[in-house]
Amino acid sequence: MTTSPTILRLASRLDEVGFSDIVKIRNRIMELRSQGATVHQFEGGEPFMTTPEPIKQAMKSALDENKTRYAPSSGIPELRKVIAEKLRTKNRIPAQDSDVIVLNGGMQGLFGAFQSTVNPGDEVLLFSPYWTPIKDLVAHCQAKFVLVPTDEAREFGFEQTLSRYSTERTKVIYYNTPQNPSGVVFTRDEARSVAQFAQDRDLVVIADEAYEDLIYDGEHFSIASLDGMYERTITSFTLSKSYSMTGWRLGYAVAPEPWITGLKKTTLYSSNGVSTPTQWAGLAAMQLDDSILESNVAEYRRRRDVLWAGLNELGLTCEKPAGAFYAFPDVTRINGDSREAAEILLNRAKVSAVPGIVFGTHGEGHLRFSFSTPMETIEAGLDSLRRNL
Ligand SMILES: Cc1ncc(COP(=O)(O)O)c(C=O)c1O
């Protein structure tokens, strides 16, 4: 029997869903390393610190106490309650305990958020440059992403700029603050303008606050806290960056009905929830003293200042990142093609960074450098750039 080529084919909803370019860069680094080179790595996207001890201890205790059975797929009530309290007090989001769902990292929350709001053919507005996986999450909905240059919005006004890029098919605005890759932190007034636009056009906002605790200048402000916004916003959070827990895959999202039902369905039929011991560890994380977050910020700020000053001295100009842990300098003096520029840095200076084009057309001409790395790496990397560029 012959099998039709149309049968042995992935479902078309995956056609436009891609893979991360960062994997390709990692492969190049491994190749250089296998040839004996020391590579100064700035391409990463995770905290360099280890997970705090009390979190690890809580995981060990959960295992010893046999807290290893199925939990409710939305999360253990103890953790949901602590998260809801945090959302009400710290983020000023008017959340009920039942509006919270515990998830496998920010990624699962964002996946569920797009799946719950976007129909095939809809359009999603993304401030650009943007965190790359968002275009794939939109593609998985068989929808279209439309890039809204962040610089343009900041210069000419958010409402005016958003209206320039929206059409009748626009359904959702993806609102990420602090931003990956640019380190931009949207102000309270900017949040108000986006909220006004969303309300005037009856749009949903998917707010991504993965870096809420990494702010160096300004303040973190949750758009869902504004009047009239809670009902139209799904906000995604993660413990990955705040508590150095990237590998634990733990996050949460908050939204009222109907969105929370969407998040529950997408979770139930994918992972069916987060591993139970991991959730007990998450509870310990959420109960840690805020001083841990503050000392992390101080560590990151020192690194940001050194990297930012060093890059600018080299003529790789960039704005001082106000949040997250990335600097996003203009590298056109090396090469206007950011993939070429990244290759030049890697070959000449053994410095690895992510080409800006990976974050969309508005990222072209830039490279993303993470400053979540030991101070020695920043110093050695800058030194190598000074000597070899
Ligand atoms: C902007 C942004 N949102 C969400 C995430 C999701 O992180 P995780 O799935 O590890 O929680 C990341 C991770 O890099 C990110 O940069």
Six token digits for residue 333: 């003096």
* Nearest Cα to Cα of residue 179 among 138, 221, 139, 129: 129
Identify which has the larger pLDDT, 167 or 29.
167
Architecture of domain 67-286: 3-Layer(aba) Sandwich (3.40)
Pocket probe mutation, ligand 1, options 48, 111, 237, 241, max atoms within 8 Å of Cβ: 241
Rounded to whole angstroms, the Cα distance separating 86 from 84 reads 5
What is the pLDDT at residue 5? 67
Within 10 angstroms of residue 263's Cβ, the number of other Cβ atoms is: 27
User: What percent of the chain lies above the pLDDT cut of 70?
Assistant: 99
Q: Is a pLDDT exceeding 80 seen at residue 146? A: yes
Rounded to whole angstroms, the Cα distance separating 6 from 377 reads 50
Rounded to whole angstroms, the Cα distance separating 29 from 152 reads 35
- Under 8 Å CB-to-CB from 289, ≥6 apart: which residues? none
pTM (two decimals):
0.96
Q: How confident is the model at residue 50 (pLDDT cuts 50, 70, 90)?
A: very high
Whole-Å CA distances, 125 to 166, 177, 299, 366: 7, 15, 34, 22
Segment among 22-31, 142-151, 228-237, 266-275 with least mean pLDDT: 22-31
How far does residue 8's CA lie from ligand 1's centre (Å)? 33
Chain segment 126-144, per-residue pLDDT in tens: 999 999 999 999 999 999 9
How far does residue 207's CA lie from ligand 1's centre (Å)? 12
What is the pLDDT at residue 23? 78
Six token digits for residue 343: 């290759």
How far does residue 291's CA lie from ligand 1's centre (Å)? 23
Q: How many CA atoms lie within 13 A of 90 on its CB side?
A: 13
Q: Can you give the residue ranges of every domain in the chain?
A: 12-50+291-388, 67-286
Indicate the helix (H) or strand (E) that contains 330.
none
Architecture of domain 12-50+291-388: Alpha-Beta Complex (3.90)
The residue whose C-alpha atom lies closest to atom 1 belonging to ligand 1 is: 180
Whole-Å CA distances, 308 to 175, 304, 371: 25, 6, 9
Mean pLDDT of the region 248-259: 98
Rounded to whole angstroms, the Cα distance separating 255 from 209 reads 14
